[in-house]
Amino acid sequence: MDHIDILGTPIPNAGPVFFAALAVHVTAGITCVISGAGAAISRKGSRRHGRFGRTYLWGLVVVYVTLTVMSAIRWRENVHLFVIGTLAFTAALIGYVNRRHRPDIHILGMGASYVLLLTGFYVDNGPHLPLWDRLPTVAYWLLPALIGSPLIARAIARRRQRRTSARA
């Protein structure tokens, strides 16, 4: 199967359905990156946090649907990305369901989902990105988690600390 080069990134020439799914996938992925970061930095419980979070979740639904279409077309090449996407979507659903009654699980689920979203992006695109192309392949798999895990742990610890302070 040949490739189309777009801005230095090889895109599989897998037909019009694949290409259309990819265009929607990229747009939804960018939406997820922006809205996920917005939710992470906005005040928890605020309207803004909720709006960013819902935008992230719906964007992730679109990312997952398009990923499923592209994986069906190119299963051998995309199975690992499908597994990462399934884990990201599952983590987001767990986080969303627990947003009210189990906030630590909410933070962990949504944070893990965001880390997995970035992992999928870097595993697929890292070899074609400036600077990232100099890293070993294992870095694409591990760096998002190495950076995201301490941030998630910090968010959970800060929430617990605020809850303890409020009770005192």
**Domain that residue 99 falls in:** 3-167
CB count in 10 Å sphere of residue 71: 20
Instruction: Read off the DSSP letter of residue 14.
Output: -
C-alpha–C-alpha distance, residues 99 and 50, integer Å = 10
- Digit-coded pLDDT (tens) for 18-37: 999 999 999 999 999 999 99
Which residue, chain included where needed, has tokens 């996938």? 25
| Residue 10, pLDDT score | 76
* Count of domains forming the chain: 1
CB 61 within 8 A of CB 86: no
Residues of the chain with pLDDT under 50: none
C-alpha–C-alpha distance, residues 100 and 27, integer Å = 29
| Residue 109, pLDDT score | 97
C-alpha–C-alpha distance, residues 73 and 138, integer Å = 26
